[in-house]
A and B are shown apart, each in its own frame.
Chain A
Amino acid sequence: MDKTATKEYETVIGLEVHLQLSTESKIFCSCANKFGEDPNSLTCPVCLGLPGSLPVLNKKALEYGIKAGLALNCSINPLIKFDRKNYYYPDLPKAYQISQYDMPVASNGFLMITDEDGKPKTIRILRAHLEEDAGKLIHESTCSLVDYNRTGTPLLEIVTEPDLSSPQEAYDYLQNLKLTLQYLNVSDCDMEKGSLRCDANISIREKGVIKLGTKTELKNMNSFKAVKTALEYEVSRHKKVILAGDRITQESRLWDESKQMSFSMRSKEEAHDYRYFPEPDLVPFVVSDERISEIKASIPELPFTKLERLIKEYKITEYDARIIIQDNAISDFFEECTLHYKDFKKICNWINGSLLQELNSRKTKLAQIDLGALEFTKLIQKIDDETLSNLAAKDVLTHMIDSGKSVDEIVKEKGLSQVSNDSELEKIVEEVIADNEKVANEIKEGKESAVGFLVGQAMKRTQGKANPKKVGEIIKNKLSKSQ
């Protein structure tokens, strides 16, 4: 019998995340740190690596690095220095990347995730270091074109220990990491735009074995989901190779999203030897304890601390709270709403429902629109006091976001006030019954479930302004058997 088939394997994953920091200017020169401009328009002698040019560190980039390090529970190194990583690639104009080797900004941190049993799990963060991004290569049929606009974009590389035990944990880690970083306002964290990139190291080993298996490095995943899928693919590939009695080759592999497979990168002409050495063009950096305290003080309440507090303080469900903390601005908005309106569950419903729908359909964020918490709660109150129907309120919200006007203004302008006036409603119901004789007869014969249809018709006729509760009552009265 084949014994290997019964063996149990465990997965070991470590992630390297490259985060583009959202500074105004590049890390070592004063070109704008922007995306989507004409090729090579945002370049200067420094980021083109022209002979004779010299780097000068952007203070903000270092501060962002420290801020992220602190938020990830790292210690900030007392002496920070930069090193050169030497390798040739056309997108790297100096043929070395200014990076950090043995004295990075931050090291020895951690981030919490929830494991498959729902228990909290610590993922250790080995280090976070600053470096410069490379340019972009565009491959044509007979040549390649180089755009150096991206060259010199500040990057923070965040490296975990191999503490992740499944593709799902890797996915969760990325989610939590992104959320934490977004709270800091140091990066867009948009994987599709490339402002967050992730490489994964993966190996498997027999359960109980301490020595790590041979790892492969996965590259080219462009979403968190792709990271997960690629890792799942790679786990099963490793298993297949090992079960077939072969060995895993230590190598870098490219994830092909369309084929849903990983491919070995064309074997390099020789092994990498990056020849790191201290960057002589930059001096070392010593960040004082006072400065670190100042940066620490500028870190807002982080998402998972906030999650627990919101549940406790406002007695909202974990489900609601989790949605609310996905965006720091939204969670702040929620808390502001609670100052004006006391049904917290209802605030959650409106935020997590209509408001998020509005934002998603506009592909925008709360911070980008003009909507005050007070107005938002006034809108909810208008439903409570039956001025607006739910449907009409949604319409008002749309207009509020479009125009920035107040609830009252819009309700007045559009004449959206709910119609609760009995005589008016009676008239409308009569019209509806006249137009839908067949349904009306069914109701008369006892089919109460058809009432809703007529209510809907009445709402349609009044463009949502009719008070549906009252309409229902009137219909029932008019069509009751007793009549």
Chain B
Amino acid sequence: MISKEDVLNIASLSRIHLQDNEIDQLTKNLEDILEYIAKLEKLDVSNVEPTSHVLPIENVYREDKVNSSLGQSAALKISTENQNGSFKVPKVIE
């Protein structure tokens, strides 16, 4: 149902590097879970609307007003690394 390649592909999409022993374990786990989830296939849902929001609330906005920001130093306080007022990360090659 789910192959090792699938698992590696999902891991890559999820940006998680897996160790070899994890790959087997996760393949097995996901296989079990998907098998359990497969029970939903018994239901005919062709005429059922999906529910992505449980409350029928609509149109929640804010007015276009400016409020104070955190500011540079408070923003960077959480940073792992910063330089020149910016968050520093390993070089991104485009």
Contact = CB atoms under 8 A, between A and B. Distances in A.
**Interface SS of chain B:** loop
A260 to B, nearest CB: 19
Interface in A248-290: 254, 265-266, 269-270, 273, 275, 277-278, 280, 282-286
B91 A38 contact: no
The size class of the interface chain A forms with chain B is 35 or more
Given A40-B72, A50-B78, A266-B94, A30 B62 contact: yes
B85 A143 contact: no
B37 interface: no
Interface string B35-69: 00000000000000000110101111111111101
A40 to B, nearest CB: 5
Contacts of A40: 72, 75-76, 85-87
**Interface SS of chain A:** loop
B69 A42 contact: yes
A144 B66 contact: no
Contact of A139 (B64, B65, B92): B92
A284 B72 CA distance: 33
A241 interface: no
Interface string A42-77: 111100101000001111111000000000000000
29 contacts: A23-B64, A31-B67, A38-B72, A38-B85, A40-B72, A40-B75, A40-B86, A40-B87, A48-B70, A48-B75, A50-B78, A56-B60, A59-B64, A138-B86, A140-B91, A144-B92, A145-B83, A145-B88, A145-B89, A146-B86, A147-B86, A266-B94, A275-B13, A283-B55, A283-B57, A283-B58, A284-B58, A285-B58, A286-B58
Interface of A: 23-25, 30-32, 38-45, 48, 50, 56-62, 88-90, 137-148, 254, 265-266, 269-270, 273, 275, 277-278, 280, 282-286
Given A41-B69, A284-B53, 13 more contacts: A39-B72, A41-B75, A43-B69, A43-B75, A59-B62, A139-B94, A140-B91, A143-B90, A146-B88, A147-B86, A278-B53, A280-B53, A283-B57
